[in-house]
Amino acid sequence: MSAQEKNEAMTLLTEAELAEQLKITEAEAAELRRKHKWPHVRLGRFNVRYTEGHLAEIVAMHTEANRETPTPGRLPGQTARSAAYNAR
């Protein structure tokens, strides 16, 4: 497959189209893009687009399985020392 064929096969989604697929508003998508540094393509100052690969990365970023599960008796981010102190 040539580079030209690859470019023709790539679909770019607008922020509105991405939001529709994720079942959120366009404003929420823009906020989450800024807050979580979502991967995107910037076309000019205000035009943002996403590829299908970007969409997959975004979903993976927010998948619960990717989050660290806390050790029983410990709060997320709590050190072992403070957990032992609080267990007394």
pLDDT tens-digit profile, the chain (88 residues): 565 556 556 899 999 999 999 999 999 999 999 988 899 999 998 899 999 999 999 998 888 765 566 556 677 777 878 777 877 7
Structural domain boundaries of the chain? 3-87
Give a three-class secondary structure readout of 24-63.
CCHHHHHHHHHHHCCCCEEECCCEEEECHHHHHHHHHHCC
What does the alpha-carbon distance between residue 50 and residue 48 come to, in Å, rounded to a whole number? 7
Q: Is the pTM of this model over 0.75?
A: no
Residue 88: its pLDDT value, please? 72
CB atoms within 10 A of CB 22: 15
